Amino acid sequence: MPALENRTALITGGASGIGRAIAEAYLHEGAQVVIADLDVSATVPGAAAHVALDVSDPASVQDAVATTTGLLGRIDILVNSAGILTEAPLAEMEPRVWSETIAVDLTGVFLCCRYVVPGMIERRWGRIINIASQLGIKGGRSLTHYAAAKAGVIGLTKSLALEVAEHNVLVNAIAPGPVETPMVAGITEEWKSAKRAELPLGRFGRPEEVAPTAVLLATDPGGNLYVGQTLGPNSGDVMP
């Protein structure tokens, strides 16, 4: 039997990169998937629907959650993959860049959890998978805003996991090393080649290499092993 048969999933940022690879893996494992993204032009074949979403806007998140619940009946699995990244040294950073990054990469995760968790508690089943980053653990030059947001996602994950585990709602994060997606396309080649040298595989990860961890964390019983953990594929760290 496919691992996620009869499960429903809402995937933010599912139109591209890591979120898209997770959506494809979930569909392969039998889940019904709604893709929620700022970009509604890129479609994932087999998805139940594509919903317009700005994760930084509370009203937009509430709308997307209501639409998804209306379509699928419930949300069993929430994957928070929507995110943005720009390089900016702190001494030159426009405060607006800081605020936007925190709004999307951290507050966006809070808002999606905020409006999905009550239904999960009510049904006593839920899995939340937040896409953090190794930069949230190790930091990154010219990425204080992004690293701070991702460190926040890890803190949010651990704390929410403590709050809701008793309701059989399990919350975990994945903190990948660099992954070849449109997000990193704009980063300087100098940064990328320095990063490659640190990586255990000597190359950036691929989105489909992150997806199996997101499948494991969504399954029952596989996901039951993990509560409030941050798993780090291709990071150079030993998995916790």
Residue 19 lies near ligand NAD (rule: CB under 6 A) = yes
104 vs 148 by CB, closer to ligand NAD:
104
Pair 8, 71: CB distance under 8 Å: no
In the set 8, 12, 32, 234, which binds ligand NAD (CB under 6 A)? 12
Report which residue's Cβ sits closest to ligand NAD: 17
Residue 27 lies near ligand NAD (rule: CB under 6 A) = no
Angstrom distance (rounded) from CA 190 to CA 39:
29
Angstrom distance (rounded) from CA 81 to CA 189:
24
Contacts of 106 (CB under 8 A, 6+ apart): 148, 149, 150, 152, 153, 156
Is the alpha carbon torsion for 200, 202, 207, 208 positive or negative? negative
| Shortest separation between residue 58's beta carbon and ligand NAD, angstroms | 12
73 vs 212 by CB, closer to ligand NAD:
212
133: tokens are 């980053």
Residue 186 lies near ligand NAD (rule: CB under 6 A) = no
131 forms beta bridges with 174
165 vs 201 by CB, closer to ligand NAD:
201
Residue 84 lies near ligand NAD (rule: CB under 6 A) = yes
- The piece of 36-44, 67-75, 91-99, 228-236 that touches ligand NAD (CB under 6 A) is 36-44
Running DSSP on this structure, what letter comes out for residue 103?
I
Nearest Cα neighbor of 80 from 17, 119, 129, 18 is: 129
So which residues are the catalytic ones? 146
Residue 172 lies near ligand NAD (rule: CB under 6 A) = no
Residue 13 lies near ligand NAD (rule: CB under 6 A) = yes
Q: What residue ranges bind ligand NAD (CB under 6 A)?
A: 12-13, 15-19, 37-39, 53-56, 81-85, 104, 131, 133, 176, 178-179, 181-184
